[in-house]
Structure 1
Amino acid sequence: MKENIIGKYRGLFVVLLIALSPCLVWSGPAKPAKSAAPVKQVHPELSKQEQYIDCAQCHAEATPKVHEEWFASRHGLAMVKCYQCHGTFENFRVTPTRQDCAACHENMLKKCPQDKPCWQCHVPHTFKAKK
């Protein structure tokens, strides 16, 4: 009896697994072991058609906390898009550089410590000052 149920729903399980696989592939940045060299993060493979979809559309489900932080932030309200800080699929980076911030905040970067990245003083995606 149990084998009949498994056999009966095996096809449905396979279809669901294939349909959900894009959501399951990206689970956020990997955390390397302390002794390991930093790993360059790349975005999961997307089709040409998927590359036209706004990042926020997938990340609302894939990384809801990050999406909510960004959406409610000044950058989200100002419609600053993910690629403006994190790059496109060809040059994606999990961690933006100071030069990425300078594209809009050049004057602020002149006032900030030159030896620290922005997120040491500001919470990523909410952009509030850390206390």
Structure 2
Amino acid sequence: MRTLLLASLLAPALAAAAPGVPARAKAPPRHPDVTAQLAVQDCAECHAARSPAVVRAWEGSPHGLALVKCVVCHGSTGKDFTRTVAEARCAGCHAAQAASQGPARAGPGGCFTCHEPHALTATGEPPHSK
């Protein structure tokens, strides 16, 4: 059983590192206006003025109340930054919930098919308990 679990965890990493597999082209930074000095500030310091509804939604959300920083979901302000959070990022902390849904059931928007971004409130019935 342990061998099967270990193999299932290592297989994707080994496949990604396989020789002859072309590397993906590096994308430009997605938040290039943030300097190293600004990166140490909290995102809400700038976004409270730029996108106040987003900041208010996050502040009242389970993530905001637990003080989960923006970089946990969106990545750093450099090359790892992404506006659109992938379901895999959510599954990093919410593996059981993601596994209970599966990508086909979650829909094309992943977790955000049912959960509003930033507020993270569920829309409709709670499917994770099924």
Q: TM-score range by the shorter chain?
A: 0.5 to 0.7
Unaligned 5+ segments in structure 2 are 1-27, 125-130
2:64 equivalent among 49, 70, 76: 76
TM-score (norm 1): 0.65
Instruction: Name the residue aligned to 1:98.
Output: 87
Runs (4+) of structure 1 exceeding 6 A deviation are none
Contact 1:98 1:118 survives alignment (8 Å): yes
Unaligned 5+ segments in structure 1 are 1-39
Please report the RMSD computed on the Cα atoms of aligned residues, expressed in angstroms: 1.7
Instruction: Name the residue aligned to 1:66.
Output: 54
Identity %: 38
> Is 1:130 aligned to residue 123 of structure 2?
yes
Deviation string, structure 1 residues 88-125 (Cα, Å, up to 9, x no partner) = 02211001111110111000001114133000111111
> Is 1:51 aligned to residue 39 of structure 2?
yes
Contact 1:85 1:101 survives alignment (8 Å): yes
2:113 equivalent among 95, 113, 120: 120
TM-score (norm 2): 0.65
Instruction: Name the residue aligned to 1:87.
Output: 75
Aligned partners of 1:103, 1:112: CA distance in 2, in Å? Answer: 15
Larger radius of gyration: 1
